[in-house]
Amino acid sequence: MTHSEPLSAESDEAAHRCLVAGFDGTTTVPDTLKRLIDRGLGGVILFTRNVRDAAQVRELTDTLRALRPDLLVAIDNEGGGIGHLVRAGAPDVPGNWALGVADDPELTGRCADALAGHLAGLGISVSYAPVADVQGRPDNPIVRTRSFGPEPELVARHLRAWITATEARGIASCAKHFPGHGGTRTDSHHDTAVDPRPRQELDLAPFRAAVDAGVPMLMSAHVVFPALDPDHPATLSPRILTGLLRDELGFDGVLVSDALEMKAISGRYGEAAGARLALAAGADQVIVAVPDLETTLACRDAVLDAIRTGPPARQRVTEAAGRVRRLAERYAAPSAAVRDWDDGAGREAARRAVRAQALPRPVRGAHVVDLFPPPHPALNWGGEDLPAELRAVDPTATGTALTREPADPEGFAEEVLRLAEGRPLVVAVCDARLHPWQARLRDLLLAGRPDTVRASTGLPEPGDGTVCSYGRGRVNLRALAEAVAGAG
């Protein structure tokens, strides 16, 4: 076969099946996307940019399926502060770390059921969750409270509960990020990430548990594991995707890449080469999450060019497309009937996590300073803060939320101390180890008010305080506010 020889219709459709595309729009489908769908596009991924309200999302997913009934409609839907469906009435469930602290798999299943039931009602068929990563390094910048915890077996038992509950709703779950992102000190959204541990120390047990639980999808990590393959990130490594995942762990579901525009791939290889190499390594679908459909087209063209090189590439893409087709037969059509889910499961879990620790004496009428990093654009909704949740349970409370160091920290601290004069002061930080400006500002306030109630909305660390929400989802912050004010 030469580069000038036309492809068969079957090969053309197979190449499109292997793509998941992001796009702009809440009510209309771009013409370029329509053409991709007509040629067999495997899936689309929705983000906050595609969400206005629940009715609009359902109308959008119906419109997409009218173009092609077997199109998979996917979204990142981990719960807590990680998700894009707040405007569409997403159930309030805490992030995974809080579920791990509560450590009740039945409760985790109820939370996963609420998320999956909501997706079914919106016509979304694939949930890129749960996170199977073990939070192994205190300086890891990307997993953190998205993980169920620091121990592989803890993570494994909650994965099983999540996958089972999601499957019962007819939604495809996707355990991520194989073979783990918790041992890195770099966010692969921004740069090459490396896990330097020897093979025997890698956290593969949760992924084995997910495969044993029948998870239909796994997502690869853009992480280099020198003990497994020193030359390629997992997403592009035949040794990891085929040798380890397929041959050793026995996974035969759909393996999807993390987004190709992440700098660990795009910065070194480019999205188009990344698509070609990922599929050759053993991936079945690649995600192009950016709304610029020209990038998706470039990835598509790279896959078509690969097919033209001869039978090995054509057979690999045909195999991948077959897995995607089987997944679509099972999940593409959302459940016809959506039963009610347990609206209280998330509140119960968040409260149990907060109250699983020694709590400070409740205070009323407090002034709260909430320090946290800006929302991650690829992951977070970011519309929640602790002052708002505290005022909801104690209208006499006041507060300030801050996502970056003020130009005049000393002046800011002086103003806070003035506002809090004669009142309790609460200072919350979120992962201050990674964002030292928070610790500096907290210490300025503690110097003026040694009686300050200290709190954390991220991973608890020495010096952070006496009460922790273990996440920044709205329900996490409400549970923390209730503990501070003695309410709920």
Residues annotated as catalytic are 189, 258
- For residue 177, whether the previous peptide bond is cis, meaning omega lies within 30 degrees of 0, is yes
In contact, 206 and 175? CB cutoff 8 Å:
yes
| Alpha carbons 140 and 185: distance in angstroms, whole number | 5
Local structure of 218: helix, strand or coil? strand
Residue reference for tokens 């380890």? 244
Cα–Cα dist 390/394, whole Å: 6
Measured at the CA of 156, the angle between CA 135 and CA 144, to 5 degrees, comes to: 20
Q: What single letter denotes the amino acid at residue 318?
A: T
Helices 311-331 and 271-281, axial angle in degrees (round to 10)? 90
**Containing H/E element for 428?**
strand 425-429
DSSP reduced 3-state for 222: coil
**DSSP secondary structure of 456-470:** ESSS--TTS-SEE-S
Beta carbons of 475 and 343 less than 8 angstroms apart? no
**Helix (H) or strand (E) segment spanning residue 75:** strand 72-75
